[in-house]
């Protein structure tokens, strides 16, 4: 997993090749009649997961704003005027209280996110204490801190981190339209360090940034052909924030989003497919379709980093209505 796979190879590899999925095969999945696609996704889902169970995770922004990167979707970039202020790293006791509240509300995984290009050692050290403290509460731990240097993933693993989140965001071809301050290869380098340290990988992307179906298939092909593929795959719908370059994009059709969830489930059968950012834009019926398509994990609570998220009570009410239970 040290480099992205050549897109032409992904698109044209013969069936006998070692690739699990080509771009062309995933495009064919995305083009299936929706009833057929959902049937295939549910069949795969039931082979590996309980279709009535969903993992509840909570995400806390432990260091908000001031990021030097220029990711066109992100309100935390200091390059854009979005109203998100640069804030210092949260105190340990604040993080612990938030983790206790998340656990009391039913979350089983707690993710800590920091708006850095990547942590300096002096910045990483207090995060290690946070990981240890959250782990001691009996929660699964996850962190998203940006690019990691040699040795940092090992420090996180030693502190008790279970998952490291680092998204590819989109296909290699479309990536340069969205981000200019880091390369696609930089992301694979960090993912390689995470794997080498024995951590689980949480890696996915964003739908609705102006990409086409080929790009969506290209993203899933990169993920599905990792060895191994990520244990957790967040599929995000762009949350448009005024002041970011992507504000004003045409919103994704919910059925196209459901197709992405289903294709992720089929191509990465054992992964937790995470219904992530953008749920505030979805009806309960749209979310229910995502669960039917194979999503079995959600971020739970009233905030997702700096943007809104369905409130916990609404989430529990929805799960009750459709007969699903937390893991």
The catalytically annotated residue of 67, 187, 259, 279 is: 67
Catalytic position from the list 40, 71, 195, 290 = 71
Query: Catalytic pick from 182, 195, 265, 274?
Result: 274
Q: Which of 40, 109, 111, 216 is catalytic?
A: 111
Our answer to whether residue 290 is catalytic in this structure is no
109, 142, 203, 216: the active-site residue: 142
Catalytic entry in 182, 195, 202, 265: 202
Backbone phi, then psi, for 15, in 5-degree steps?
Answer: -60, -30
Distances in Å between the Cα of 132 and the Cα atoms of 61, 158, 160 are 17, 9, 6
Give dist(CA 271, CA 250) in Å, integer: 29
Give me the catalytic one of 40, 74, 182, 187.
74
Q: Is 203 a catalytic residue?
A: no
* 111 classed as catalytic: yes
- Assess contact for 310 and 301: CB atoms under 8 A: no
Catalytically active residues are 67, 71, 74, 111, 142, 202, 274
């Amino acid at each position: 997993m040290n480099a992205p796979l050549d897109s032409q190879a992904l698109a044209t590899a013969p069936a006998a090749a070692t690739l699990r999925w080509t771009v062309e095969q995933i495009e064919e999945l995305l083009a299936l009649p929706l009833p057929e696609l959902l049937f295939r996704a549910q069949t795969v889902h039931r082979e590996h997961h309980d279709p009535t169970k969903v993992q509840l995770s909570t995400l806390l922004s432990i260091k908000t704003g001031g990021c030097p990167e220029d990711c066109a979707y992100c309100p935390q970039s200091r390059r854009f005027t979005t109203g998100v202020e640069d804030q210092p790293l949260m105190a340990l006791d604040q993080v612990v209280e938030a983790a206790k509240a998340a656990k009391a509300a039913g979350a089983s995984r707690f993710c800590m996110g920091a708006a850095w290009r990547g942590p300096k050692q002096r910045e990483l050290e207090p995060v290690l204490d946070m990981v240890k403290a959250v782990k001691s509460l009996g929660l699964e731990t996850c962190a998203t801190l940006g690019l990691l240097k040699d040795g940092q993933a090992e420090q996180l693993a030693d502190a008790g981190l279970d998952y490291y989140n680092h998204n590819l965001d989109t296909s290699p071809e479309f990536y340069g339209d969205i981000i200019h301050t880091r390369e696609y290869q930089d992301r694979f380098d960090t993912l390689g360090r995470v794997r080498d340290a024995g951590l689980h990988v949480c890696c996915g992307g964003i739908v609705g940034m102006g990409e086409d179906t080929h790009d969506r298939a290209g993203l899933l092909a990169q993920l599905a052909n990792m060895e191994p593929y990520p244990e957790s795959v967040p599929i995000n719908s762009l949350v448009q924030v005024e002041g970011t370059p992507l504000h004003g994009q045409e919103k994704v059709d919910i059925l196209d989003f459901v197709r992405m969830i289903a294709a992720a489930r089929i191509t990465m059968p054992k992964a937790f497919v995470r219904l992530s950012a953008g749920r505030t834009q979805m009806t309960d019926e749209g979310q229910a379709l995502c669960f039917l398509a194979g999503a079995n994990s959600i971020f739970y609570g009233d905030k997702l980093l700096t943007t809104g998220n369905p409130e916990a009570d609404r989430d529990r009410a929805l799960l009750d209505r459709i007969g699903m239970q937390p893991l």
